[in-house]
Amino acid sequence: MTVADEAAQYGLHRVGGRPPLGQYLAEVWQRREFVFSLSKFRLEAEFSANRIGMGWILLRPILNAAIYGLIFGVLLQTRRNVDSFIAFLVVGVMLFEFFQACFTAGAKSITSNQALVQSLSFPRLALPLALVLQKLMQFLPTLSIVLIVAVANGSRPSLTWLLLIPLIALFAVFNTGLTFITARLTVHFRDLTQLLPFLSRMFFYTSGIFFSIEQRFSDHPTALKIVDWQPIHEVLTLGRAIVLDGPQYQIPTEYWAYLSIWAFGLLALGTIFFWSAEERYGRTD
Amino acid sequence: MDAQTDRRPAVIVDDVHVEYRVLATGKRPTAADTGRNMLQRSRSRTTRTVHALKGVSFTAYENDSIGIIGTNGSGKSTLMRAIVGLTPVSRGTIYASSRPSLLGVGAALIRDLSGERNVVLGGLALGMSQREIEERYDEIVDFSGIRDFIELPMRTYSSGMTARLKFAIATAQTHEILIVDEALAVGDQKFRQRSESRIREIRDNAGTVFLVSHSMRSIRDTCNRVVWIEKGTLMMDGPTEDVVSAYEEAQAK
């Protein structure tokens, strides 16, 4: 009798090996309480040592917006031709922060948890997922600043604002897919962590956060066509159109379609890409 | 083999090899490594293959409590990680009746948070549900013996307190196959006795326990069988007293 027969006779299973995708996702779902607690507790721990604790969640993006406003808006005069520049800038900065946080921290979600990955067995997808969830919880309170600034700017609260919910959902899905991809890539190429801040900055300058791409490139139709497909720009444009009033802020309906394609395409791609290297994450070499 | 056919096997390790390929980066550059050679060198940066396990086979049964001994770097921890499925094997196969768990919850805990929060987080990391943790919360805290400090951040705990809490969390769950890697070396005398009796309890509940330790006393007190590994190969497998004596004799030389 071979060993495999004996194992089968007593109902023993092979250890290790990557489960099929469906089963893998079911295992991730089983671990949802872990994912949720991990993100919540990590967020709590991140701010617990600070005197004003969670206050920094709001204060940090406000300070960021203030600096960008001063440098770009006032000194470099990018506010020209932009209606209600402050509100324009604040919406841009707050939304971008969520992307940036996922992009830079998410790439390290496996490599910075090496000890955890090597000592406990759970579907590794839980780690990038928890990271995005943590950044989402950190991002949601800052939306209140966006709404306050919008009202201060003369926007009247309306039912249209509810469109922020699908927008944030799509944005979160997009970030999740992207994080799955960068988290795995970083395992193969550690050098990526050096490169990501530059990529992130490139997104920062090309998404139209402190200047209006539509105004700047109004006589370059090709550039505008390209930027129509830049996902972060789509998010910012939709976000501004939802909360701000004025002729510059009409909702470009086609952007919903473009962004959905990005978000769900990246999620599907990222999930498969991450899952197919599941056995690789625990190795030390 | 025949004498044991009436017992159900829990883990079968069949001719397992584990090889790591490691980038050897610590090498000092030689005079030849200048200019153009730098590029070539980085491409051919020597990958060294470490053969950590070279064909280990044994079968663990229900109610077995197996001590794993061997000198530092002999491959004990690699074998345990392979059994849990954390380290992929290069050759051979490991079968298990249920997913083995490694008693090592430490990496999931967050030092800046209270012991209370960490009990919840550690339990979830081990695969317990929120409800199970609530039900066992008091039992875990009592076993760890740090109820007075449970609201303080874990970074304020002494190393002994931390180790006790980790052990209490990790053994709260009912494991069918449990691997304990050097966890009993910490803690005071009283805690050591309590944790050893906890391990016997798991074993008596039809569980299988692997205990990796350098303390022959712990091994003698808790194990009925010992596997001795040296340089990635199985040296000896048998009743505790026989193997431990042989090991001690070899060490004394």
Per-residue pLDDT tens digits for B51-82: 889 999 999 998 889 999 998 888 888 898 88
Contacts of A80 (CB under 8 A, 6+ apart): none
A80: left (phi over 0), alpha (psi -120 to 50) or beta: beta
B93 with A10: Cβ contact below 8 A: no
CA distances to A105, A191, B49, B230 from A188, in Å: 16, 9, 18, 32
Closest approach of chain A CAs to the CA of B113, in angstroms?
6
A12 with B12: Cβ contact below 8 A: yes
Contacts of B86 (CB under 8 A, 6+ apart): A117, A118, A119, A121, A282, B102
Report the DSSP pairing between strands B65-69 and B9-23: unpaired
Cα dihedral A42→A47→A49→A50 (10° resolution):
180
Tens digits of residue pLDDT in B182-236: 655 566 778 878 888 887 887 787 688 898 888 888 888 889 999 999 999 999 9
- Minimal CA–CA distance to A275: which of A69, A126, A108? A126
- Minimal CA–CA distance to A167: which of A269, A262, A58, A259? A259
Task: Tell me, yes or no, if A1 comes closer than 8 A to chain B by beta carbon.
Answer: no
User: H or E element: which one contains B132?
Assistant: helix B130-144
CA separation for the pair B36, B15 (Å, rounded): 45
* Total residues found in chain B within this entry: 253
Closest approach of chain A CAs to the CA of B217, in angstroms?
26
In this predicted structure, what is the pLDDT of residue B17? Answer: 93
pLDDT more than 90, % of chain B: 34
Residues in chain A where the model's pLDDT stays below 50: none
Tens digits of residue pLDDT in A212-245: 888 788 888 888 888 888 999 999 999 999 999 8
CA distances to A87, A228, A234 from A92, in Å: 8, 16, 11
In this predicted structure, what is the pLDDT of residue B1? Answer: 44
A81: left (phi over 0), alpha (psi -120 to 50) or beta: left
Closest approach of chain B CAs to the CA of A33, in angstroms?
7
In this predicted structure, what is the pLDDT of residue A214? Answer: 81
Instruction: Respond yes or no on whether ipTM tops 0.90.
Output: no
**In the predicted model, what is the mean pLDDT of chain B?**
83
In this predicted structure, what is the pLDDT of residue A123? Answer: 92
Label residue A135 exposed, middle or buried (CB < 10 Å: 0-12, 13-18, 19+): buried
In this predicted structure, what is the pLDDT of residue A213? Answer: 84
Task: Tell me, yes or no, if B89 comes closer than 8 A to chain A by beta carbon.
Answer: yes
Tens digits of residue pLDDT in B149-171: 999 999 999 888 888 898 888 88
CA separation for the pair B44, B157 (Å, rounded): 47
Q: Is the pLDDT of residue B39 over 80?
A: no
Q: In a 3-state reduction of DSSP, which class is residue B68?
A: strand
Task: Tell me, yes or no, if B152 comes closer than 8 A to chain A by beta carbon.
Answer: no
AA letter at A80: R
- A230 close to A206: Cβ distance less than 8 angstroms: yes
* Residue spans of alpha helices (H) in chain A: 3-9, 21-30, 32-48, 55-68, 85-106, 114-119, 126-139, 142-152, 164-188, 192-206, 213-216, 221-228, 231-243, 253-275
| Residue in this structure with the two tokens 């031709």, named with its chain if needed | A81
Task: Tell me, yes or no, if A120 comes closer than 8 A to chain B by beta carbon.
Answer: yes
- B209 close to B184: Cβ distance less than 8 angstroms: no
| Residue in this structure with the two tokens 């030389």, named with its chain if needed | B253
Contacts of B54 (CB under 8 A, 6+ apart): B17, B231, B232, B233
Task: Tell me, yes or no, if B246 comes closer than 8 A to chain A by beta carbon.
Answer: no
CA separation for the pair A160, B50 (Å, rounded): 62
Backbone torsions φ then ψ of B173, nearest 5 degrees: -80, 150
Contacts of B218 (CB under 8 A, 6+ apart): B184, B185, B192, B196, B211
- Minimal CA–CA distance to B206: which of B10, B3, B59? B10
